[in-house]
Chains A and B, each alone.
Chain A
Amino acid sequence: MRMVFKLGLVALMLQACSSCSPTTRLVITGESLIGLGDQFVATSQLMDIGLDAKTITKEQYKTWSTFGKRFQQVYPVAVQLWDSSRAVGDTVTEGHAAEILTTLTAELAEFYSVINRANITKDIGNAVLNTGDK
């Protein structure tokens, strides 16, 4: 089941739109990248809470930190690719941005899973992220 996630919901959405217009693909990739960025920030807040509450181990946090620092380098590259793709109308470049999006989403999902198992809950704006097992 986990592998299904790794292959990714976002990838599915993008692949389903392989014949869409360049504008539509840019909209999908762009909105998805924003969603991924939001998810990264939210996950970061939850990992900090989990570490403070000792429901996340130091080792788990170190793994998260390593991934997070790489994410902070790779995410802007994906956005740059999106910008380039838009500027020159190049669908190949947009495809690279989508690939990065898919990879980062799969990796971030693993940490989201850790948070779920640790049963961490936090109010984020008007929404509540409930991660506890019932």
Chain B
Amino acid sequence: MQYSTLETNNTMEQIIVNLVLAVTSAIPDVIKAVKASTVLNTEEKEALLNALSDRLHKSVEEVKAVKFKDVDNE
């Protein structure tokens, strides 16, 4: 992921800019992958989707591994 912060004078604008940058951080990967998907043959597309599937399942494991603190008992 690539994040950055732009200088702005307005607090709300700053929040929005950061949010846009954060949420769209995957877009370069998407553009790259989409470009690839339009020129690949069937076998290559299958390999691309297999790799994407593997990354998705790894992501699920990372999300599930997140722990939350019990603030009531601290």
Nearest A residue to B27, CB-CB: A13
Most chain A CB atoms below 10 A, which of B2, B3, B22, B25: B22
Q: Does the CB pair A31–B63 fall under 8 Å? A: no
By size class, the interface of chain B is 35 or more
Residues facing A in B22-74 (CB within 8 A) are: 22-27, 29-30, 33-34, 37-38, 45, 48-49, 52-53, 55-57, 59-60, 62-64, 66, 68-69, 71-72
Whether A124 contacts B1 in the complex (CB less than 8 A), given A28-B30, A69-B68, comes out as yes
Min CB gap B7→A, angstroms:
6
Q: Does the CB pair B62–A113 fall under 8 Å? A: no
Subset of 25 A-B contacts with CB under 8 Å: A24-B37, A26-B52, A27-B33, A27-B52, A28-B33, A30-B55, A35-B25, A37-B59, A51-B69, A58-B72, A62-B71, A64-B68, A65-B69, A68-B68, A72-B66, A76-B60, A86-B49, A109-B19, A112-B19, A112-B22, A116-B15, A125-B1, A128-B3, A131-B18, A134-B8
Chain A residues with a Cβ under 8 A of chain B: 1, 5, 9-10, 13, 20-21, 23-24, 26-28, 30-35, 37-42, 44, 48, 51, 58, 61-62, 64-65, 68-69, 71-72, 75-76, 79, 82-83, 86, 105, 109, 112-113, 116-117, 124-125, 127-134
